[in-house]
């Protein structure tokens, strides 16, 4: 499971809250700079052939959107971005992505539409999203 060539070795660093805050801001800004309305985000090159625009909570657009919103909500990041216009496409693409993989029929937070519905509900509460969450739960 752990492959040394795919990981950065740990190093002893002194905790510096300012450096941590700056790193979080850089990461959030970089994520927003690479966002695309049509394909969401490119896959990481070390993700073993994962296609660009993956939508899952675990390793896709839903998780990135949730993380960026969370960092903003808790005050760890200042950049804000309105993802509500892309939510219908995210939900549609997520359902299509997992339709033939067995996750569509049950509630899976990390894969399937439950996690995507929960993240979308936080950004834009709608009765249809609540119905999806209820059905999957």
The DSSP code sequence of 11-62 is ------HHHHHHHHHHHHHHHHHT-BTTTBSPPPTTSTTPPTT---TTTSHH
75-96 per-position pLDDT tens digit: 999 878 999 999 999 999 998 9
pLDDT score of 28: 95
Residue 101 has pLDDT above 80, yes or no: no
53 backbone φψ class: left, alpha, beta (φ>0; ψ -120 to 50): left
55-64 per-position pLDDT tens digit: 999 989 999 9
pLDDT score of 84: 94
Identify the residue with better confidence: 130 or 112. Answer: 130
């Amino acid at each position: 499971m752990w492959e040394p060539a795919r990981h950065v070795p740990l190093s002893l660093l002194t905790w510096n809250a300012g450096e941590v805050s700056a790193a979080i801001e850089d990461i959030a800004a970089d994520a927003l700079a690479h966002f695309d309305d049509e394909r969401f985000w490119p896959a990481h090159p070390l993700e073993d052939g994962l296609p660009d625009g993956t939508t899952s909570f675990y390793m896709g657009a839903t998780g990135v959107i949730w993380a960026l919103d969370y960092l903003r909500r808790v005050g760890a990041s200042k950049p804000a971005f309105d993802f509500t216009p892309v939510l219908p496409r995210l939900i549609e693409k997520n359902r299509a992505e997992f339709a033939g993989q067995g996750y569509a029929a049950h509630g899976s937070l990390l894969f399937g539409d439950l996690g995507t519905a929960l993240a979308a509900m936080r950004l834009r509460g709608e009765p249809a999203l609540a119905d999806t969450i209820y059905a999957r739960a």
